Amino acid sequence: MVTVIDHPLVQHKLTLLRRKETTTGEFRRLCREIALLLGYEVLRDLPLEPITIETPLERMQAVQVSGKKLCFISVLRAGEGILDGILDLVPSARIGHVGLYRDPATHEPVKYYFKVPEGMAERLCIVVDPMLATGHSAAAAVTMLKEAGARRLKFVCLLAAPEGLAWFEAAHPDVPVFAAAVDRELDDHAYIHPGLGDAGDRLFGTK
């Protein structure tokens, strides 16, 4: 199931992000801002725990988010561009990283890095990767996280292709996807159209 976050600010910033004139610095800042706005919606059902605090006037029972029960997983390398924004919302959340490359012969994703916090079974895992293109690496990352014990996951991206969504949903029907937009199609090189180009290159100024 995909939820498109159609908030006007998300859509406005996404338009700026897509433009080819947008500089590396602006692209990075926009990714962070959009991620924060997406995160606000994605984390809407975060559990709260009670805490006793003192205001200047009296003691009271308040609530706080349990950052310990949450973990953000960045799919390297472009996931890093979203991680910062979502981390602004919950700075105490644990962070994991999944690194995958595409085998040139089989075209299948191959793991080169995998490091996640302990206690994955108890955590809500928010997996972030800006582009859900073929869906293969996203699905493989989620499979690895499930093998590491994760049971409750959400996937957050900026743009998704219909082909990638279909692949991902077939592999992981239990993992909801949140996106700023679902674009028209993939091309023969697995780029999303109209898209925004190569998210990693635009984030890091490589090309």
What is the distance between the alpha carbons of residues 200 and 177, in angstroms, rounded to a whole number? 20
* 14 near ligand URA, rule: CB under 6 A: no
State which of residues 65, 117, 200, 204 lies at the interface with ligand URA (CB under 6 A).
200
State which of residues 70, 131, 153, 180 lies at the interface with ligand URA (CB under 6 A).
131
- Do residues 30 and 15 lie in contact, with contact meaning Cβ atoms separated by under 8 Å? no
Query: What type of residue sits at position 13?
Result: K
* 31 near ligand URA, rule: CB under 6 A: no
Interacting residues with ligand URA between 78 and 117 (CB under 6 A): 78
Q: How far is CA 125 from CA 153, 182, 203, in A?
A: 5, 22, 23
CB of residue 44 vs ligand URA: minimum separation in angstroms?
Answer: 27
What is the distance between the alpha carbons of residues 94 and 115, in angstroms, rounded to a whole number? 11
* 133 near ligand URA, rule: CB under 6 A: yes
| Count of residues that bind ligand URA according to CB under 6 A | 10
Q: How far is CA 142 from CA 111, 147, 154, 178, in A?
A: 12, 9, 9, 15
CB of residue 158 vs ligand URA: minimum separation in angstroms?
Answer: 10
* 191 near ligand URA, rule: CB under 6 A: yes
Catalytic site residues? 102, 106, 198, 201
* 17 near ligand URA, rule: CB under 6 A: no
- Show the site string, 46-85: x = touches ligand URA by CB under 6 A, - = not: --------------------------------x-------
* C-alpha atoms less than 13 angstroms from C-alpha of 144 in its C-beta half-sphere: 23
Nearest Cα to 82, choosing from 147, 159, 140, 168? 159
What is the distance between the alpha carbons of residues 164 and 158, in angstroms, rounded to a whole number? 13
* 149 near ligand URA, rule: CB under 6 A: no
* 204 near ligand URA, rule: CB under 6 A: no
Residues that bind ligand URA (CB under 6 A): 78, 131, 133, 190-192, 195, 198-200
